[in-house]
Structures are given as structure tokens and as C-alpha cells.
């Protein structure tokens, strides 16, 4: 049998997850409408253009985190329901590859989600961008989404072992992603120029988001195989 390295497995798993998503269209048909609804509901709850503009960055990221739970649960449900995760283990796949692959797939899905949500926040809450702030925004979205994806797959795998206890995932993940929510929301505030923030103030936060993503990527690579192999 041909031996496949970690990156090869990662590519395979990512392709599989994205294919499953493409065929099921859960992201497009359910998660995106859900996230958009959350954004509209925020507007209802926080009546007033000033307040919405001030809160726009935080709301976009909270909507991302809330929608992320749906995507993660779905991703692992597909794997556990018909024992695919066990089958991958039995086949002797390197679980680090599975971790990277699932993270890549989740990253791409969250990226789509994020772009739509940020665009929505620009439209709904009347925020405008300059070239400088757009560059900052791209950096924020990439770093924060990577952090969310690495954490999401790591804890999603753990929660997937607890069949029928989906409530566990938010309890485990929300405290961990707090730095991402703080960092991404504050940095996005700088990009939007709301609350008197300047664009330059956003970059230290991007640094934090980057460190977070790297730290959890390493932690995930080290611990995911042990969490799954039981």
C-alpha cells in the first residue's frame, strides 16, 4: 500500500469534508441564513444607528462564533454517524493529518461565512472602509478564522465523543475563543473606524490573533491524536 504523509492525508480529508459540504449545501442553505438572521436580530435588539455602528465589529464576530458551532457539529456528525472516524483510525491514518485536514475545511467554510457577515455588517450598520482598513480587515479575518478553526476542530473532536451531548461544545469552546472574540472585535473596530479607533491600533490585535492561531495549531497537532485514539 502506498504510504501517505500528513499533508497528503490533510488534503484528502479537507477535500472530503468540502465535498460533503458541497453536496449537502448546509453552509449555504442553513448556516449563512442563520448568521444573517442573527445580524438582523441584533439590529432589532439594539435599536438605533449610532449604537449599531458602535457595536458592528463585535456583532459580526459573535455571529461568526455562534454559527461556527453549527458548522463544527455538522462536520463531526457526518464523521461519527457512520463510524467514519473509527474507520480512518482502523485504516491507520495519521490523526495529525486528519486534524489539519478538518481544520483546513473548517477554515475555508468559516472564511466564506466571515466574508458574508462582514459585508453584511458594512451594509446593515452603515460602515465604510478605506484601502488601509481593508488590508487590516483581511489580516484580521485570516488570523482570527484560523484560530477559530484550530480550536473548533480540537474541541469538536472531543465533544463528538460525547454522543448526544451537543451542549458540551459551546461550554468548552466559548471560554477558549474569548481572546479571538476580544482581539478580532477590537481590531475590526479599528478597521471600521468606529468608537474613535484608528487603523494603526488594530495591528497589535492581529499579532495576538496570530499567536493564538499558532499556539492552538501546535496544541492541536500534539493532542488531537490522543483525544481521538481511544
Residue 61 lies near another protein (rule: CB under 8 A):
no
Stretch that binds another protein, among 11-19, 39-47, 78-86, 164-172 (CB under 8 A): 164-172
Match 463510524 to its residue by C-alpha cell: 83
Residue 202 lies near another protein (rule: CB under 8 A):
no
Evaluate whether 17 touches 101 at the Cβ level (below 8 Å). Answer: yes
x/- letters, 127..156, toward another protein (CB under 8 A): ---------------------------x--
Among 5, 29, 130, 162, binds another protein (CB under 8 A): 162
Residue 172 lies near another protein (rule: CB under 8 A):
yes
Is 88 or 154 the residue whose CB approaches another protein more closely? 154
As a whole number of angstroms, the distance between CA 16 and CA 82 comes to 15
Stretch that binds another protein, among 53-61, 73-81, 99-107, 204-212 (CB under 8 A): 204-212
Among 12, 84, 115, 168, binds another protein (CB under 8 A): 168
Residue 183 lies near another protein (rule: CB under 8 A):
yes
Query: Within 13 A of 20's CA, how many CA atoms are on the CB side?
Result: 16
Stretch that binds another protein, among 41-49, 82-90, 104-112, 220-228 (CB under 8 A): 220-228
Question: Phi and psi for 25 in degrees, rounded to 5?
Answer: 55, 35
- Spell out a b/e string for 89-100, using b for 16 or more CB atoms within 10 Å of the CB, else e: beeebbbbbbbb
Stretch that binds another protein, among 56-64, 104-112, 133-141, 215-223 (CB under 8 A): 215-223
Among 2, 44, 128, 226, binds another protein (CB under 8 A): 226
Is 47 or 229 the residue whose CB approaches another protein more closely? 229
Is 92 or 175 the residue whose CB approaches another protein more closely? 175
Residue 174 lies near another protein (rule: CB under 8 A):
yes
Q: Which residues sit at the interface with another protein, rule CB under 8 A?
A: 154, 158, 161-162, 165, 168, 171-172, 174-176, 178-179, 182-183, 186, 201, 204-205, 208, 211-212, 215-216, 219, 223, 226-227, 230
Amino acid at each position: 500500500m502506498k504510504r501517505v504523509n500528513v499533508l497528503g492525508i490533510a488534503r484528502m480529508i479537507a477535500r472530503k469534508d468540502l465535498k460533503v459540504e458541497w453536496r449537502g449545501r448546509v453552509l449555504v442553505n442553513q448556516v449563512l441564513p442563520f448568521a444573517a438572521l442573527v445580524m438582523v436580530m441584533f439590529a432589532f435588539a439594539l435599536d438605533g444607528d449610532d449604537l449599531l455602528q458602535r457595536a458592528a465589529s463585535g456583532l459580526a464576530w459573535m455571529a461568526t462564533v455562534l454559527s461556527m458551532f453549527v458548522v463544527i457539529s455538522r462536520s463531526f456528525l457526518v464523521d461519527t454517524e457512520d463510524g467514519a472516524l473509527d474507520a480512518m483510525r482502523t485504516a491507520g491514518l495519521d490523526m495529525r493529518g486528519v486534524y489539519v485536514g478538518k481544520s483546513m475545511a473548517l477554515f475555508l467554510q468559516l472564511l466564506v461565512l466571515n466574508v458574508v457577515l462582514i459585508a453584511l455588517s458594512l451594509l446593515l450598520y452603515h460602515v465604510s472602509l478605506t484601502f488601509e482598513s481593508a488590508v487590516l480587515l483581511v489580516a484580521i479575518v485570516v488570523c482570527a478564522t484560523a484560530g477559530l478553526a484550530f480550536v473548533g476542530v480540537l474541541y469538536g473532536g472531543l465533544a463528538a465523543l460525547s454522543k448526544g451531548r451537543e451542549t458540551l461544545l459551546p461550554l468548552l469552546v466559548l471560554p477558549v475563543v474569548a481572546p479571538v472574540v476580544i482581539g478580532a472585535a477590537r481590531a475590526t473596530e479599528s478597521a471600521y473606524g468606529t468608537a474613535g479607533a484608528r487603523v494603526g491600533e488594530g495591528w497589535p490585535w492581529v499579532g495576538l490573533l496570530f499567536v493564538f492561531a499558532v499556539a492552538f495549531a501546535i496544541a492541536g497537532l500534539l493532542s488531537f491524536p490522543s483525544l481521538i485514539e481511544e
